[in-house]
Amino acid sequence: MRTRSRVGPQSLRGGRTLDVDGLLDDPHTGIIVCCGSGGVGKTTTSAALALRAAERGRNVVVLTIDPARRLAQSMGIEALDNTPRPVKGVGDSGSSRGKGSLDAMMLDMKRTFDEVVTSQASPEKARQILENPFYVALSSSFAGTQEYMAMEKLGQIYADSRRDGTYDLIVVDTPPSRSALDFLDAPERLSSFLDGRFIRLLLAPAKGPARLMSAGLGMVTNALTKVLGAQVLRDMQTFVAAFDTLFGGFRQRAQKTFELLQADGTAFLVVAAPEDDALREAAYFVERLSEDEMPLAGLVVNRASPQPLGEVSAEEAMAAAQRLRKGDADSLTAGLLRLHADRVRIVEREARLRRRFEAAHPQVPTAVVPALAGDVHDLDGLRQVGALLAGERPT
């Protein structure tokens, strides 16, 4: 597996520390993909990385596919859409490295699909496709379309940036898919659907000679008509016949984007929470990225419990609480001691889970981000997350 060599000093927990600033400052890093299961902070991590890179001199665009729209709120933008919008206030944090730029956008799945159709088909053919009811359903809700269009939009942004010099870093917040890397599988799934037996069957009457309309095909068509209805079947056949001319272009672009993700200028960051299930899912991400030969930069463990003050162990704290209770002493002090013991146990449990992951994947550098007291809702909050990602002490 190809992993980044940017490894910082050994952390206190003994593993390899991810050099986040080294990753962001490297001019050869052109794409950072944040992936992970839902609810682990991918959107916040993506936005914080993009902001930190911009304020260190990079020209950045961050693409989010998260439907919660928290990215728009934290960046002070009323609403994100399919067009990159500049983020105001970037470069005002006093960085001495020079001012970069930051744009943000949110994937509009159907609009991206429409853009592909209009760019690849003649105006008349595009109109036939865009107005077809089956296309409307496919472009809006078909399983895998969101993930495919995330790949499509990434390819578009990359191509435009290479042509116009707009951005030198693209940060991608991947879809919150249930399956680990659906966005990598989506092009093949969509291609398989469009190239499947059912679609070929629908195309046969339009493309094949009359002799192909055998009694068997006629029986199947009649059966489909009874199940779907004549109008639905005609809509599907019309769509497939029109879309078939674009199919090769879809598959070709998907393959180019897949190769782009495998290139040395791309870096994958797996994002996880310090929980058993999340780190188990992260391990699957790491293994799958290795199988697909994707360049893995490291693991980000979000919302880690902060280390309690002092060096009193959980056992010592509980023993002291028991002694106070027996002596009928201050119940508040005893409660604080028990609370301290609980926090120590949580921190120790999270450390054990990370060590277990590190033992299974010693080649993966890790950044541990302590949990913040509140939600991130502005640029200052994102700056704080970025600083913690880079290993700076909480302020």
Q: Measure the N-to-C terminal CA separation of the chain; round to a whole number of Å.
A: 37
What is the Cα–Cα distance from 346 to 179, expressed in whole angstroms?
28
pLDDT digits (tens, 9 = 90+) for 305-316: 887 666 666 566
* Greater pLDDT, 157 or 139: 157
Q: What is the mean pLDDT of residues 175-192?
A: 63
pTM: 0.80
Least confident of 20-29, 132-141, 384-393: 132-141
What is the Cα–Cα distance from 348 to 343, expressed in whole angstroms?
9
pLDDT digits (tens, 9 = 90+) for 107-117: 888 898 898 88
What is the Cα–Cα distance from 45 to 246, expressed in whole angstroms?
36
Please name which of 339, 333, 355 lies closest in space to residue 276, comparing C-alpha atoms.
355
Q: What is the DSSP string of 58-96?
A: -EEEEEE--TT-HHHHHTT-S---SS-EEPTTTT-S--T
Q: What is the mean pLDDT of residues 258-279?
A: 93
Torsion angle defined by CA atoms of residues 79, 80, 81 and 87, in that order, rounded to the nearest 10 degrees: 120
Q: 3-state class of 202 per DSSP?
A: helix
Q: What pLDDT was estimated at residue 61?
A: 97
Confidence of residue 379 (pLDDT cuts 50, 70, 90): very high
Q: What pLDDT was estimated at residue 359?
A: 94
Does residue 247 have a pLDDT over 80?
no
Quote the mean pLDDT of the chain.
78
pLDDT digits (tens, 9 = 90+) for 273-309: 999 999 998 998 999 899 889 999 999 999 998 876 6
What are the start-end ranges of the H helices in 75-181? 109-120, 123-130, 133-141, 145-164
Within 10 Å of residue 40's Cβ, how many Cβ atoms? 26
Backbone angles phi, psi at 264, to 5 degrees: -65, -25
Place of tokens 């020079």: 98
Q: What pLDDT was estimated at residue 132?
A: 84
* Greater pLDDT, 364 or 375: 364
Does residue 46 have a pLDDT over 90?
yes
